[in-house]
Amino acid sequence: MDQQYIINLSFVGASFLLYIGIAIWAKAGSTSDFYVAGGGVHPITNGAAIGADWMSAASFISMAGLIAAGGYSNSTFLMGWTGGYVLLAMLLAPYLRKFGKFTVPEFIGDRFYSQNARLVAVICLIVASVTYVIGQMAGAGVAFSRFLEVDSTMGLMIAAVVVFIYAVMGGMKGITYTQVAQYCVLIVAYTIPAVFISMNLTGNAIPPLGLFSTHVDSGMPVLEKLNQVITDLGFNSYTADVDNKLNMVLFTLSLMIGTAGLPHVIIRFFTVPKVADARWSAGWALVFIALLYLTAPAVASMARLNIMTTIYEDGTDAQPILYENRPDWIKEWEVTGLIEFQDKNNDGRIQLYNDANEDFAPVAKARGWEGNEFTYNNDILVLANPEIAQLPGWVIGLIAAGGLAAALSTAAGLLLAISSAVSHDLIKGRFNPDISDKGELLAARISMGVAIVVATYLGANPPGFAAQVVALAFGIAAASLFPVLMMGIFSKRVNNVGAISGMLAGLIFTLVYIFIYKGWFFIPGTNNLPDTAQHWVAGISPLSIGAVGAIVNFAVAFIVSNATEEPPEEIQKLVESVRYPRGAGTAQDH
């Protein structure tokens, strides 16, 4: 472990030095540098930066485990978190880039000629982004504590200092180039173990192809073998269809429009020189994202099959392995508590099966099993992947650096969205419009510093809502921000009153539905109904309600707008101008 510790430390240390080096090179000299990296980022560079901005600790560490656990039904995350880029490319990014300002609330304020609309947008942005950033900071702390044997609060502090250095100094400019470096680190770290596991199991070096090819040991297709092994142990079939299709559709839709409405993603499109580049960079972003998102489902099924065949080395009909003969990776990860074993029937063997399945209970009883004895956290599928595939120590060091890169790059993007909303929309927009460029740059840096301190504190002491990123951040982005941005571009008729009523209606509808099942403001025990499928209205989960909230937002905005005055002439001209690329220029203040 000592040697491994040194390897991990050198990988993480080297990556941090790289980020700080980039920060010194890419120092922001103006608000344009700080908010939009000077507006001169190449579309492919921006695509890679969006990839890192988008792929969070959750995508890197947790997503494969989620898919492994849910099989087909959790394909929603794969489609939802990629399909949003189609919407961004066609419905939002090019026009918002043409508009050419610094923040998302600024567009809403100008287009709907209302400081109140801008304020509602700022509040939505801050709630969504703060919820999101807490998970990233906590994720960085956890990655530190697991790989570098430091206390997770200490790890969090180190991560915060590094982000502080490059985000406060460089703003969007520093963040852009560190994100590109972080993308490279995270994709290499994710891909290498995946290639090895795919080679071992299928002989195919390309994981997405391996997923649909033959399992070498059994001669069966990987997915068929996996289905056989897990159904023999009472688990649901991996590829089985789901009954509640409505919920699956709405959940996917919520994730898609939520993705498209998240401000930290949208502002990345303000950094390219031209409208055409905004379109291209959406395509490149999805290419870079897909490299991980096409690998994740392969890792998911192969790693799960690996765990099962490790424990049932002679097949599911034979006895599972003895605990004392367990492989080293189980020993190592037991220390972290992510893997737990409890010998319920005292036979010294590891019985891993689905003890919640009543149909399987007689089989388990006949075999003398007294409950599932082996539990593993979903994150194990990625974290322990190199050890399961028996890869050298440097691959483990790479995973450590990759996990941190994923967490820090997303955190930095979110912190920039938060701090620019504070310094540009609140301080300059509301309280001190005459502030000089230099003064605003200072305000932006101070806001960034404060945002980092708050995020670090919340990361170390996560409030209850921090676990609700999917419900809260995606719900708000889907139900309030996406519809109002889209209507601002595609309709000349929607006016100030309509936009504000729509945003509030979508937001309140969505939050109330979530609170009814998850507790008011996520305080445990305050929910009105249990959060289970039979209590959901029409089978719609609170995680899927954002899509319905978006429909409410659209409907209310149209009805209210049509009942009130149409927007003034100059606003209709503004809408015209965002639709035509000519004369974009770089993003600017005036």
Partner 1 sequence: MSDHSYDAENYWKANLRLIFGSLIIWALVSYGFAILLRPMLESIAVGGTDLGFWFAQQGSILTFIALIFFYAWRMNKIDEQFGVHEE
Nearest to 47 by CA among 223, 161, 176, 195: 176
| 153-161, 281-289, 471-479, 555-563 -> range binding partner 1 (CB under 8 A) | 281-289
Q: Does 212 bind partner 1 (CB under 8 A)?
A: yes
- Residues that contact partner 1, how many (by CB under 8 A): 51
* Residue labelled with tokens 């409890």: 342
8 A C-beta contact, residue 490 and residue 91: yes
Least distance in angstroms from the C-beta of 288 to partner 1: 10
Q: Is the Cα dihedral 104, 109, 110, 112 positive or negative?
A: positive
8 A C-beta contact, residue 326 and residue 111: no
Cβ proximity to partner 1, 46 vs 351, nearer residue: 46
Name which of residues 75 to 104 contact partner 1 (CB under 8 A). Answer: 75, 78-79, 82-83, 85-86, 89-91, 94
Least distance in angstroms from the C-beta of 587 to partner 1: 14
Q: Does 486 bind partner 1 (CB under 8 A)?
A: no
Cβ proximity to partner 1, 17 vs 205, nearer residue: 205
Cβ proximity to partner 1, 271 vs 420, nearer residue: 271
Least distance in angstroms from the C-beta of 291 to partner 1: 10
Question: How many Cβ atoms from other residues are within 10 Å of residue 525's Cβ?
Answer: 6
Least distance in angstroms from the C-beta of 139 to partner 1: 24
Residue 214, C-beta contacts closer than 8 angstroms, at least 6 positions apart: 202, 220, 221, 222
Q: How far is CA 354 from the centre of its chain?
A: 29
Helix (H/G/I), strand (E/B), else coil: 304: helix
From 367, 438, 535, 579, residue interacting with partner 1 (rule: CB under 8 A): 579
8 A C-beta contact, residue 524 and residue 510: no
Q: Does 222 bind partner 1 (CB under 8 A)?
A: yes
Cβ proximity to partner 1, 40 vs 327, nearer residue: 40
Residue 353, C-beta contacts closer than 8 angstroms, at least 6 positions apart: 233, 234, 235, 360, 364, 369, 372
Q: Does 219 bind partner 1 (CB under 8 A)?
A: no
Alpha helix (H) ranges present in 367-474? Answer: 380-383, 385-388, 393-420, 437-460
Least distance in angstroms from the C-beta of 293 to partner 1: 6
The 282-311 site mask, x for binding partner 1 (CB under 8 A), equals xx--xx--x--xx--x--------------
Q: Does 586 bind partner 1 (CB under 8 A)?
A: no
Q: What is the DSSP letter of 349?
A: B
Residue 301, C-beta contacts closer than 8 angstroms, at least 6 positions apart: 67, 68, 71, 211, 222, 223, 226, 238
8 A C-beta contact, residue 121 and residue 104: yes
From 101, 268, 279, 445, residue interacting with partner 1 (rule: CB under 8 A): 279
Cβ proximity to partner 1, 279 vs 424, nearer residue: 279
8 A C-beta contact, residue 172 and residue 30: no
Say if residue 327 is exposed, middle or buried (CB neighbours under 10 Å; 0-12, 13-18, 19+): middle
From 151, 313, 314, 576, residue interacting with partner 1 (rule: CB under 8 A): 576
Q: Does 581 bind partner 1 (CB under 8 A)?
A: yes
Name which of residues 230 to 259 contact partner 1 (CB under 8 A). Answer: 239, 241, 245, 248-249, 252-253
Least distance in angstroms from the C-beta of 4 to partner 1: 33
Cβ proximity to partner 1, 58 vs 395, nearer residue: 58
Cβ proximity to partner 1, 25 vs 212, nearer residue: 212
> What does the binding site for partner 1 look like in residue numbers (CB under 8 A)?
67, 72, 75, 78-79, 82-83, 85-86, 89-91, 94, 208, 211-213, 220-225, 227, 239, 241, 245, 248-249, 252-253, 274-276, 279-280, 282-283, 286-287, 290, 293-294, 297, 576, 579-584
